[in-house]
Amino acid sequence: MITMQDPIGIPACFSSGEKPTDHDPAVTRWGQSVFMSVYRTKMADHCRLITVTWCKNLLLHGLSISVEGPEGESQYTCKIELKPWYFWRKQGSKRFTVDDGKPFDIFWDLKSAKFNGETEPGSDYYVAVVSEEEIVLLLGDLKQDAYRKTGCRPASFNPIFVSRKEHIFGKKKFSSRAKFHEKGRFHEISIECKNGVDDEPEMEMRIDGHVVLHVKHLQWKFRGNESICQQNKS
């Protein structure tokens, strides 16, 4: 199991004073991958953090949306379990009432969402958080469907992405292309996290298909640095 976290902001699954339970999809369990994103937006005249958590295990996908109270002392959570036999749970809405009595709604449509083996969907879905007839947070590519379903307009205050945290079970690979100097060519760079011998997590970094860094026992060597020498400037 490997955890990667964006250093910006303070991602939190639960508010201060609230303890996680085994029934919450945001709780990290063995065999479960979790992607947690935190956004700052304005709802009911207060700036609030909204935490969107996608989780996946062998049986189901889960979605949890938490809205922080104005002072961070309370939280309102919507949990959705996307089991194959719960087709009707893949589309719906839920209403909450915040501390000052103002309602907000969460709408979702995941019935055609394409996960392609990943923890969070890549296309054909939307998740919308609505407050005072404004969509204060909208995720997914079916934006027009979300506006039509909710009957609401975009918020005047654009949400701010604060942080992202990933807890990965099993194998995960990231790839990109980059130049090492201005006049050089693009190189293919990949970072792969996987379970090695005795299920010990390890990490490999490859440049143009060649292994340039191999970190074993990643659970204990989760922080470090190493210089890589270039043989030629191509």
pLDDT value at residue 16: 27
Among candidate residues 142, 168, 194, the one where a domain is terminated: 168
Together in a domain, 182 and 139: no
Q: What are the Cα distances from residue 131, in Å, to 44, 65, 95, 104, 120? A: 7, 14, 10, 5, 24
User: Cα dihedral sign for 219, 220, 224, 226?
Assistant: negative
Together in a domain, 42 and 151: yes
The better pLDDT of the pair 4, 78 is held by 78
Together in a domain, 49 and 148: yes
Mapping DSSP to helix (H, G, I), strand (E, B) and coil, where does residue 64 land? strand
What are the CB-based long-range contacts (under 8 Å, 24+) for 122-128? 127/52, 127/63, 127/65, 128/152
Together in a domain, 234 and 209: yes
Together in a domain, 156 and 185: no
Together in a domain, 164 and 199: no
Task: Tell me how many domains the chain contains.
Answer: 2
pLDDT value at residue 22: 37
Q: What is the pTM of this model?
A: 0.64
Task: Answer for the pair 35, 51: CB distance below 8 angstroms, yes or no.
Answer: no
Together in a domain, 146 and 207: no
Among candidate residues 128, 143, 168, the one where a domain is terminated: 168
Together in a domain, 69 and 143: yes
Together in a domain, 194 and 112: no
Provide mean pLDDT across the span 119-127.
91
The residue with tokens 């440049």 is 207
Q: How far apart (Å, rounded) are the C-alpha atoms in residues 227 and 175?
A: 19
pLDDT tens-digit readout, 133-192: 999 999 999 999 999 999 998 888 889 999 888 776 666 777 888 888 777 888 899 988
Q: How far apart (Å, rounded) are the C-alpha atoms in residues 108 and 82?
A: 12
pLDDT value at residue 170: 61
Together in a domain, 200 and 86: no
Q: Which range marks the domain in which residue 213 is found?
A: 171-234
Together in a domain, 37 and 132: yes
Task: Answer for the pair 5, 168: CB distance below 8 angstroms, yes or no.
Answer: no
Among candidate residues 143, 168, 193, the one where a domain is terminated: 168
Together in a domain, 152 and 36: yes
